[in-house]
Amino acid sequence: MWYIGDIEIVEKNHVLVVLMFVSTVLALIVLGLRFYTRGVIVRQIGLDDWFMALAMLVSIGGVFAAMFKIKAGLGREITDLKTLGPFLHALFAEIATYNFAQTFYKLSIALQCQRLFSTSGCRKIVWLVIAWIAVCGIMGVAASMFYCYPVAKAWDLSLEGRCIDKNTVYYVCAGFNLLNDHILLALPFPFLVKLQIARKHRVVLCSVFSAGLIVTIVSEVRLKALYVNLHDALPHQAISGIEICMWSHLEVDLAIICGSIPALKAFFSQVILGHEHSPTPIAEVGSKRRAPRQSDEEEIIGEDVEKGYGLEPLEIRVQQSVEVSIVQESAKNGNGDDAESEMDLVLPPRKSSRTWQRNLTVVGGSNGVVEVRREGRV
């Protein structure tokens, strides 16, 4: 028998409690790394980060609701109406936090896609997805909180009032959440396949965005657990509800972790790989020595002529070739500002180069006449 404070943890709840706390701590660590990356390394925290933070905050609230549910009898059959009331009250709070967290992390992922894919066509599609998720989220939260009138009748069965079918509400909310999981999972791939990049880069990008498949699988498993729980007898729902409670918390925490992976690129580049960070792109020049100016060379040639070196037959050929390469540092080292750092996920490194060459030919002839010919090529 375990105890957390004054809460008795029966054996059936041991796996739930361990997974719930471990997944929450891992999600907190990843979210902390995300804010460190955005706030310290790239110095630009976006709206998608704040929505993910809200999802984490609500998820922690769901942990407290789950602990109150354990205290009220989760894992044991409930036959006493006085005990059933507090259990249903904690369940009501847990479902509300779950739907809030679902909405927040989905909006965060969609907003992150909006930052990554900057073409006008992509942005229009992503904004439509964001609007759809927001509408579904508002409807889901409202339906899960106001399916009874008065609201307190959801946990106090002795009150006068009426409720719509609770099972229908839960199924509809779970169905829309699962649908939106599939939409978010498929959203980046039509844009990724059109990128003109090497095959290995495309494979890496698809692997990063495929991490959301784990969340979708967990969501489907949760839907099955929901079906089992809702078709169980009311006193026994406190036992079959363990599984759905576990999958609900695991789904949200995994979504926070997987949804934060693309935002950690600059962290892995600087901290793990040791690349130096520059807040803005810089130019890299192939040669660090200053190329001689044209006036300098004319001065040298004129000095030689004045000293009479041109009286003897001679031929001097001076050839200079300077190659200047401009490389986007953020694409090379994984640094740069936030938008460019994330854009490296979907765009190959950009490089432009220009070669400048000038040939100076000095030909010494008879009678002290010097002929100077310049040849330039770009």
Beta bridge partners of 361: 317, 373
CATH number of the 2-272 domain: 1.20.1070
| pLDDT tens sequence across 223-274 | 999 999 998 887 788 999 999 999 999 999 999 999 998 888 888 878 776 6
Please give, one letter per residue, the 3-state secondary structure of 8-60.
EECHHHHHHHHHHHHHHHHHHHHHHHHHHHHHHHCCCCCHHHHHHHHHHHHHH
List, in order, residues 6 or more apart from 224 with CB less than 8 Å away: none
For residue 275, name the pLDDT band (cuts at 50, 70, 90).
Answer: low
| pLDDT tens sequence across 134-147 | 999 999 999 999 99
Q: Are 33 and 11 in contact (CB under 8 A)?
A: no
Q: How far apart are CA 211 and CA 219, in angstroms?
A: 14
- Picking from 177-181, 202-206, 307-311, 320-324, which range would have the lowest pLDDT averaged per residue? 307-311
Q: How far apart are CA 257 and CA 252, in angstroms?
A: 9
- What's the confidence (pLDDT) of residue 285? 30
What's the mean pLDDT in 304-312? 42
User: Per the confidence metrics, is the pTM higher than 0.75?
Assistant: no
More reliable by pLDDT, 347 or 89: 89
CB atoms within 10 A of CB 375: 10
- Alpha-carbon radius of gyration of the chain: 33
More reliable by pLDDT, 234 or 188: 188
Domain boundaries for CATH 1.20.1070 within the chain: 2-272
